[in-house]
Every structure is written in C-alpha cells, then in structure tokens.
Structure 1
C-alpha cells in the first residue's frame, strides 16, 4: 500500500478494525507503510475519542457490531461510491421530489444531484425538491438555490448524522416522494435492505414507503451482507445501483426478484 496521509490512515485503521475486530501494530504498520510509532500514536488518538480500546500490541473494537462514525467511512470504496452516486442521480427527473437517507453513498448521490448541469439552468425556479433526514446532506444542499430542501425532524444520531425517532415520522407522513435513494448497511436478495441501527431503519423504511420508486445505492461490499434491522423487503425495491465488483450471480438473483440492477 502506498504511503497515506494521517486522515486516510485513521480511516483505514478504523475500517480494518471494523473488519477484523482486532489489529496488531506491527502488522498494520507494514500494511499502511507507516512506522510502528506512528501507528501507536494513531491508535492512542482514536482511543482518546473512544473509538477503540488499546491493547498491549494493538487495539480491539469496542463491540462486535462496530458502527463507525460517518466521518471515518469516506475513504474505502470512494471511487465506486462516486460512480454510483453520479449514475443514481441521473435517475431523478427535473422537478421531482427526491428522498435521501444518510451514509456515504447517499451523500455522493446528493453531491451529484447538486452539481448536475441541467439543474443549474433554472433562474429562480426550483429544479429539485429534496427530503432528507441526514444533517450532513442538508448542510451541503442548503446553499444550493436550485434545491428546495425539506429536513425531517428527529433526534440526531452522531454516528451517521441521521435524524431518527417519531418526530421525523410526523413530517414524512404528510409527504409524497417521487424517488427515494437508500443507502444501506446490507442488501440481500432474500432479506432485503437493512441497517445496523433500528432507529435509522425505521425512518428509512418510511422514506421508502412514501416513494413511488425506491433506488438502493450500495457498493458491492454491501451485497449479500445482512444487518440488524430490516429497512424494507426486496419486493419493495425497484432499482439497485452498485459497482462492477458485484458478482453476476448476485445480480441475477436480484433481477429474478424483479429489481433492475445497474453496475457502474
């Protein structure tokens, strides 16, 4: 692995810890082309933020179900997520109402929508209405004059910046959405779409239920993965936008369930 900067290294450390549950300083130092002293300092820094527990030779995750804060999830599969975001954004028609939940891939959809050239040629006209429960997406879109932004209520979840809880459902119950783009923690042709946190799954389920069309945006690492709380059944989904790393056998299984699969 080529040498990376500190931010990328912190991301990589947490992602590796999420995958393995335990990491050792010497092994990780070699993988990340960094000195053992540097890795120790990084682990101490992350331990100070209570993101891991230090051990004599490395670190362990706090829990089996390890949910990284969103700010540490941006490095892995970044190119794939950007391609997915751009392709998914093209599915939204000018003038439509779009639903977006949280997560890194959904954020890339929001960024692609915000920079779509045809949505800038509006004058004072609203080109797109976006309904989201994600504070980071709302923050990025609030400065876009061509976007009418609707933010659900709720209690902010620090790990994902998503607003969850019954306050958000009151607003969503009153709205109709043309297309909802769902970022997920797992998507399976049998189990459907799922999230690690039940509160996120609940509000995401409603975002999907209020939409005429539901598009799951997920890189290939999420395909076949299962998470704690189901968002919706596979029969409630219309399109899956993923990357070319998705196995054709998995693609076929989704298509057999009536889902259009777009690989980018």
Structure 2
C-alpha cells in the first residue's frame, strides 16, 4: 500500500514519527494511521510508541558501562571535543555519569584549572591524573552497571553548590517526553544537578533520539545546549532549534 510506503519512508528519514504529523501529511484520520502502524508493527517493520512509531525499540534496558563504552566511539569522541571547547579555566562544573562523561574527563587538557563535581567513580579516578583539577566526588549508593552513585547523600551535597555548567549524559531523548535514564535514582540525582547548574549541556550521540529510559530527568525546556553527531534527523534538529535549544552537530 502506498500509504504504508510513505510512512516507512518518513521513518527512514526521521527515525521516529508522530500520529498527528502523519495525519496531516497523508490526509487521513488518526484511527487510520494507528491501524496502519499496528499492521506495520505486526510485520516487524517498526515499533509503536506513545503517539507514534520508531524504527528501533524506544525502550532502553540498562547495560554495563564496559559494554556501552564500545558503542558509537567515533561519534562520542567528536562530541566531547566540542564540549571541551566550551569549558573555561577556573570554572566550577558538574560532570554526570556515563561513558560519554568518562570520555569527556579523558579529553580535558592536563593543565586546565577547574573544580569538578561528579557522581561517577570512574570520572573521579580519571581526573586524579590532572593536578590542576579539584574533584568533589559525590557519595552514596554505588551502581555496579554505571560505576556511579545515587541517593540522598549525593543530592544533599548538590543543594549547597552552584556551578556554571552541567555536562549530562542520558540514555534517551524523546522530543515530547524529555530526557531519560534507565535508573530512577540516577534521574533524581540528575534533576538536582540541573538545579545546581546555570547551564545544562547534554552530550548525546544521535542513536539516543526517539528513545526512552525508565526514569524521566526533565523536559527539554530545562536544556540549554545539546551536542550530538550528524546522524540526527533534520526533523529533530529543527524541533530542537524551534524550542530555543542551542544545537551543536559534530
């Protein structure tokens, strides 16, 4: 059916689509589109999501950090180099957890004087090699899968701090639902990090778009800048810029 072909074509271009946009593009009702999406899902051609569809399953499972570290290495490298250029000497910044945050810590210049707050044990250990960087390592319950801490102790410390920038890694970006991670405790800690920072900068490769983790961190209205790679769809890039988010594509 030609309508099905057009739906799949839009999915290939955008990675995920919404029912209202398909209704407008194909001039049919929402009931018709939902039936089309159900049929295409049964054929294994897409995954239905809340209000639309995606090429890949939108729901993310937690995976060990050493496994995630092997994914999208080239893209992460370019993303963190763009992030490093935003950091100025003598700043106090927060580096959250995740493999992209570890890559950021590794990319920091050795002689750049900074104060860094981090929830990630591997980030803190990496920064020990930098004599000019003061590290405030947050404490709490250590997550084996991410080598990072969560819990009220870490959250309490952040209520007494104020930093210029938060560099945040996430598991999913849904343009309607917002930023997510696979762990609710980590989502709560990330929320407190956002409150403690003047600017929130998300580092995420393009595979994270159109996906959701279990714990919601925040809506996109709390994000100032996103750094991603050229795999982001034009549709997603346009929507982010329409919301006033500074977008850096590496």
Residue 87 of structure 1: aligned partner: 82
From 66, 69, 75, the equivalent of 1:71 is 66
Deviation at 1:147?
A: 0.4
What is the distance in 1 between the residues matched to 2:210 and 2:84?
Answer: 24
SS of 1:193's equivalent?
A: strand
Structure 1: give runs of 5+ residues left out of the alignment: 1-63
2:162 paired with 1:167: no
What is the distance in 2 between the residues matched to 1:94 and 1:189?
Answer: 33
Deviation at 1:65?
A: 5.5
From 91, 99, 106, the equivalent of 2:101 is 106
SS of 1:199's equivalent?
A: helix
SS of 2:236's equivalent?
A: helix
Aligned length: 192
What is the distance in 1 between the residues matched to 2:218 and 2:84?
Answer: 21
Q: Which has the higher contact order (CA 8 A, sep 6+)?
A: 2
Deviation at 1:205?
A: 1.1
What is the distance in 2 between the residues matched to 1:108 and 1:130?
Answer: 15
From 190, 197, 201, the equivalent of 2:183 is 197
From 196, 201, 205, the equivalent of 1:215 is 201
What is the distance in 1 between the residues matched to 2:168 and 2:100?
Answer: 9
CA displacement 1:43-82 (0-9 Å, x = unmatched): xxxxxxxxxxxxxxxxxxxxx8631110111112001001
Structure 2: give runs of 5+ residues left out of the alignment: 1-58
Residue 165 of structure 2: aligned partner: 179
What is the distance in 2 between the residues matched to 1:75 and 1:212?
Answer: 32
What is the distance in 1 between the residues matched to 2:193 and 2:248?
Answer: 21
SS of 2:248's equivalent?
A: strand
What is the distance in 2 between the residues matched to 1:248 and 1:94?
Answer: 34
What is the distance in 2 between the residues matched to 1:259 and 1:162?
Answer: 28
Is the 8 Å Cα contact of residues 86 and 108 (structure 1) preserved in structure 2? no
What is the distance in 1 between the residues matched to 2:177 and 2:213?
Answer: 9
Output the TM-score relative to the length of structure 2: 0.74
Once superposed, what is the RMSD of the aligned Cα atoms? Answer: 1.3
SS of 1:246's equivalent?
A: coil
Residue 154 of structure 1: aligned partner: 140
Deviation at 1:232?
A: 1.3
What is the distance in 1 between the residues matched to 2:96 and 2:170?
Answer: 9
Is the 8 Å Cα contact of residues 171 and 208 (structure 2) preserved in structure 1? yes
SS of 1:150's equivalent?
A: strand
Is the 8 Å Cα contact of residues 186 and 226 (structure 1) preserved in structure 2? yes
Output the TM-score relative to the length of structure 1: 0.70
Deviation at 1:262?
A: 0.4
Deviation at 1:188?
A: 2.2
What is the distance in 2 between the residues matched to 1:160 and 1:98?
Answer: 20
What is the distance in 2 between the residues matched to 1:88 and 1:65?
Answer: 25
Which aligned segments of 4 or more residues in structure 1 are displaced greater than 4 angstroms? none
Is the 8 Å Cα contact of residues 89 and 110 (structure 1) preserved in structure 2? no
What is the distance in 2 between the residues matched to 1:75 and 1:243?
Answer: 17
